[in-house]
Amino acid sequence: MVGILLLAVALAPLVAIILIVVARRPGLAAALNLTASIVSFAAAVPLPWLVQADPRVFWDGYIIVDALGAWVVLCAAVVYLLASIHAVGYMRLLDEPGRLPVFYALFAGFALTTLVGPMMNNAGLYWIAIELTTLVSTFLVAFERAAESIEAAWKYIIVVSGGISLALLGTILFYWAGSFVLGPTYDMTWEALRGAAPRMNHALLTLAFLLVLIGYGTKVGLAPMHTWLPDAHSEGPTPVSALLSGALLNTAMIGIIRYLAIADAAHTGPLLRLTLVALGVVSLIVAALFIVRQEGIKRLMAYSSVEHMGVIALGVGFGGPLGIAGALYHMLNHSLNKSLMFFGAGNMMRSYGTKDIADIRLVGRHFPVAGALWLAGAVAITGAPPFGLFASELTILRAGLQTSAAWASFVMAVLLIVIFIGFLNHFRLMYAEAPEQPDSVRGGLSAWCVAPMWLALLPLFALGLWWPQAVWAYFGGITHALGDGSLLAGHMP
């Protein structure tokens, strides 16, 4: 059963790519991509519950479906579905139907890489999967062919490739460290590395992890390696921005989590977790500074992604049942919420004909339904109750207070308040301030552009009111599988 679902998750976008390339018809391309996203989502939903205590390996051990990977695949599948629905309406606004088959083929390819990345059971193959996400998504970032889009794409591939090169060096050092224990040749699976970790050279392993952390941290968008993210997220088409923020960043974060579990198994001490915590704090500081003074609507959403990746990094760095549960819950909540926010930003950007916050006014009057959904999403993305992000952020704060890095929880709380005020102040201007000159607003958002906003907000609201006990147990199983590492009492257990 798991094998069939796994094939469905991966083959659906792959088949869509082939059919889109062969047919090259805009309407059919949109339908094929949407169908692929529905199939991938339907197959991804049951995966986490089928592999809770029984990870499955396929293809001679190169593919793994464990509880952690299945959760990240589910998050990516959710965003793929929502973004595919939004793309049907949004991409028509570009008024270039001849290029739509190319877009949907690339879009399905990008989704495919984010879906298969968490399934890689070999550290080298995982690196290849992450590199493929970069190569495919670069063309999507530059798809609109504006000067800013092309510049953002170049910046994206240069900065991220530099980071991924460091991750490759770290991967090689991990293999080298393992070779002293397992011999000159061995299968570099996550389990093999964890098993050998206690006998690895600690200095070599520490250096390898720091390189991996910087490399994949660049892909995650952790500050100060985040410089590609605001440009790429803001210049690509809105469905691409949603997939970049809600799916890709989680796919890169899972690599950091898996490598951290190896470091925990080696009992290297608190340094590596404290480094991750520090990067999380720096990300929140950078996000707060840029959010407060931001002028571009999609860049505002991009810096919000830096903020929330910092929050997830803090949860993973704190570790323990609360830290891991909060981080994983935050992944899903952020995927839903950021999709909603980018959809709203794209809708308003097309309707007002501008990306500048100063030129977007009286949103609620012009767009009562879409405006209300976007405003609710803005409240949710700041971590306010009763939405899901409030529950996950509160859990991460509680996790930090139980560790020797409690100071990070206090810093996190202060910065979240600053971000709350700064972020919602922008929305106050867009909703309550009258324009200086009469504005010309293009009305009539299609149902394709509004429906995914509903589909993102409703579960986000439900997840804030109710955290099912089964999900708590599921996250507890992941924590146990990762080794229960934490900063409790200032040392690694």
Structure confidence by residue, pLDDT tens digits, 169-217 = 999 999 999 999 999 999 999 999 999 999 999 999 999 999 999 999 9
The lowest-confidence range among 214-228, 381-395, 431-445 is 431-445
Name the band, by pLDDT with cuts 50, 70 and 90, for residue 439: low
Sign of the dihedral defined by the CA atoms of residues 17, 19, 20, 21, in that order: positive
Cα–Cα distance measured from residue 406 to residue 397, given in angstroms and rounded to the nearest whole number: 9
Q: Which two tokens stand for residue 186?
A: 């061995």
- Helices within 266-362 (DSSP H only): 271-292, 297-318, 320-352
Q: What is the pLDDT of residues 367-425, one digit of tens each?
A: 999 999 999 999 999 999 999 999 999 999 999 999 988 999 999 999 999 999 999 99
End-to-end CA distance of the chain: 37
Closest CA to 213 of 176, 166, 251: 166
Its pTM stands at 0.95
pLDDT at residue 146 greater than cutoff 80: yes
Average pLDDT over residues 284-289: 96
Determine the pLDDT at residue 452. 96
The whole-number average pLDDT for the span 149-156 is 94
Provide the domain limits for residue 475: 269-493
For residue 488, what pLDDT is reported? 59
- Any domain includes 100: no
Among residues 157, 271, 161, the alpha carbon closest in space to that of 216 is found at 161
Residue 330 to residue 339: CA distance in whole angstroms? 14
How confident is the model at residue 193, as a pLDDT? 94
Position 295 in a domain:
yes
What does the pLDDT read at residue 484? 66
Total of domains in the chain: 1
Distance between CA atoms of residues 188 and 124, nearest Å: 7
The band of 445, judged by pLDDT with boundaries at 50, 70 and 90, is: confident
**Contact in structure between 33 and 16 (CB atoms under 8 Å):** yes
pLDDT tens for residues 72-119? 999 999 999 999 999 999 998 888 888 999 999 999 999 999 999 999
Q: Tokens standing for 398?
A: 């509680």
Q: Would the pLDDT of 492 be above 50?
A: no
Calpha distance 442→447 (Å, rounded): 15
Write the CA distances from 483 to 62, 261, 319, integer angstroms.
Answer: 22, 7, 10
Amino acid at site 403: T
Element holding 489 (H helix, E strand): none
Where does residue 348 rank: exposed (0-12), middle (13-18), buried (19+ CB within 10 A)? buried
Determine the Cα–Cα distance for residues 351 and 32; give it in Å rounded to an integer: 27
pLDDT tier at 138, thresholds 50, 70, 90: very high
Percent of the chain at pLDDT > 70 equals 98
Average pLDDT, the chain: 92
493 pLDDT band, cuts 50/70/90, is very low
Is residue 213 assigned to a domain?
no
pLDDT digits (tens, 9 = 90+) for 20-54: 999 999 999 999 999 999 999 999 999 998 887 77
CA 59 to chain CA mean position, Å: 27
Angle, CA 387 vertex, CA 117 and CA 448 arms, to 5°: 65
**Mean of pLDDT values over 425-443:** 82
Q: Is 461 part of any domain?
A: yes
Cβ contact 249:306 at 8 Å? no
| 126 occurs within a structural domain | no
Which amino acid, one-letter code, is at 31? A
Tell me, what's the pLDDT at 168?
A: 97
CA dist 1 → 8, 15, 272, 301 (Å): 11, 20, 38, 39
489, pLDDT greater than 60: no
**What's residue 70's pLDDT?**
95
Give the integer Cα–Cα distance in Å for 411 and 409: 5
Residue 66, in any domain of the structure: no
CA nearest neighbour of 168 among 127, 227, 198, 111:
127
Q: Is 384 helix (H, G, I), strand (E, B) or coil?
A: coil
Note whether residue 378 is domain-resident: yes
Tokens of 201: 């050279």
The verdict on residue 171 lying in a domain is no
Structure-block tokens of residue 455: 């589909």
As a whole number, mean pLDDT of residues 305-318 equals 96
Backbone angles phi, psi at 56, to 5 degrees: -115, 140
345 pLDDT above the threshold of 50? yes
Residue 468: its H or E element: none
